[in-house]
Amino acid sequence: MNHGQTSSVLRPRLLVLDDGRLESGHEVVISGDRIEAIRPATGPCDWEVCLLPGFVNGHSHAFQRGMRGQGESYPDGAGSFFTWRESMYRLVESLDPDRCHEITRRCFEEMLDAGITTVGEFHYVHHGADAGRDHALDEAVVRAASDAGIRLMLLHVDYVRGGFDDRPLAGGQCRFDTGSLDDFLASHERIRDLCRGSLAGAAPISHSTRAVPIDRIVAVREAARSLDTVFHIHLEEVVTEIEDCRTRHGTTPMRLLLDHGVIDDRVTAIHCTHSVESDLRDHASAGGRICLCPNTEGNLGDGIPDLATIRDAGIPLSIGTDLNSRIAPAEDLRWIEYVQRIHRTMRGAVVADGRTGPPLLAIGNRHGADSLGIHAGAIAPGRLADFVAFDPGHRTLEAVEPGSMIEAIIFGTGPEAVVGTCVGGRWLRGGPQG
């Protein structure tokens, strides 16, 4: 143990090890913000919980928490992704730094309640009202994460145009404008300075092939490479995005990124709802990752991804709460399964060694941490001491056999059974003494 670092020992009833095994009779030694050791318990169990790695939220737009319950009335009988987007732009026009901070902090607090310990905040609403390019909302998000205590990877978004036809930004979109490439990289440097603490990091990324020309995506990807940071991008969420890209470039957005050398093992494509098999296989070969946001994709009526190809190609998956209409990571995990079961009238879409629980859980923590470039997401020596504790005595989990506990947590409960959330060795909710 380093001098001056605090040390503690957890002896939970059950804990999930790195390989997905559920064990009892072990203790976790924490030194500072890291896990120092997992070893046979040197004393009796002192906390009746099932300890899991904290959930990692790979894709969030926290300000959209301010729309919860809105956009669900349909005067014309039905809506779409685009009618929802008009509601979102109206919210954007109402945001000033204080309101952005308030909504974002509320959202991050709710994530901690649900056992999310790291958020990848895909942040593109940079500017306050009528203030030009002031980047005041970027600072509000960093402050909100710090106030809540959640681990933040600020995915700092480049956004410059209204469509593949290069139409200029209009209305609420002007709040997203990052100006010239030099302007964007300079603003990113300021954000990196704000995110230098142990709980925060930042990465320059591109919003989508729609909102950023391909040459500029390549340039931002190069900047991320030189900074040794991850790179995320929205990809193929709606069919019109693919049609418009074909009109402009003669190919799909995913193929466009592949052809320009954008994809590698540090790149996560968000959604890929309508990606075709041949593109997905080449995305896998290039090392690319995918983040699914099942609650959001369901809410927006996006469609159902080709999970069979994603799984067979071995693409690492993570999850995101995206528009934050609902913040419940286990629910997102179960809906990855359920939409496939409904679609294919068969059970077991994400399966490893005959089980769904451990591979789904890895989507919720380890693969999410890898996608954000954070050494967390597993209860293993050297990893960050980020945990969520579930109460096996909670009404939704009582009488569950230990061998089925992971599946019961994913399919049968939610934030209501969380009795502890720990970020970097610090219990922000509940805890052994809580």
Positions in the binding site for Zn ion (CB under 5 A)? 322
- Between 55 and 124, whose beta carbon lies closer to Zn ion? 124
All residues at 6 or more sequence positions from 166 whose CB lies less than 8 Å from its CB, including other chains: 213
- Between 62 and 114, whose beta carbon lies closer to Zn ion? 62
Active site residue: 127, 271, 283, 367, which one? 271
- Residue 273 CB neighbours (<10 A): 21
Of 52, 34, 56, 67, the residue nearest 111 (C-alpha): 56
- Between 36 and 322, whose beta carbon lies closer to Zn ion? 322
Backbone angles phi, psi at 299, to 5 degrees: -60, -40
Q: How far is the CB of 296 from Zn ion (least distance, A)?
A: 7
- Between 123 and 366, whose beta carbon lies closer to Zn ion? 123
Annotated active-site residue 322? The verdict is yes
Let me know how long the chain is. 434
Residue type (1 letter), 61 = H
Residue type (1 letter), 154 = L
Separation between Cα atoms, residue 294 and residue 309, nearest integer Å? 17
Active site residue: 33, 177, 322, 391, which one? 322
- Between 53 and 253, whose beta carbon lies closer to Zn ion? 253
Q: How far is the CB of 353 from Zn ion (least distance, A)?
A: 32
Of 320, 333, 315, the residue nearest 293 (C-alpha): 320
- Between 297 and 322, whose beta carbon lies closer to Zn ion? 322
Q: How far is the CB of 195 from Zn ion (least distance, A)?
A: 20
User: Is the distance from CB of 129 to CB of 96 less than 8 angstroms?
Assistant: yes
Edge-to-edge strand order for the sheet containing 317-319? 231-235, 267-271, 289-292, 317-319
Q: How far is the CB of 397 from Zn ion (least distance, A)?
A: 32
Q: How far is the CB of 46 from Zn ion (least distance, A)?
A: 41
Question: Which residue sits closest to Zn ion, CB atoms considered?
Answer: 322
Separation between Cα atoms, residue 430 and residue 427, nearest integer Å? 7
- Between 263 and 270, whose beta carbon lies closer to Zn ion? 270
Residue type (1 letter), 257 = L
Instruction: Tell me, rounded to whole angstroms, the distance of Cα 112 from its chain centroid.
Output: 13
| Helix 357-364 vs helix 405-412: crossing angle, to nearest 10 | 60
Q: How far is the CB of 161 from Zn ion (least distance, A)?
A: 17
User: Is the distance from CB of 204 to CB of 156 less than 8 angstroms?
Assistant: yes
Residue type (1 letter), 72 = E
Give bridge partners of residue 232 from the DSSP assignment: 268
- Record the tokens describing residue 107, joined without a space: 């959202």
Annotated active-site residue 19? The verdict is no
Q: How far is the CB of 323 from Zn ion (least distance, A)?
A: 7
Catalytic residues: 271, 322
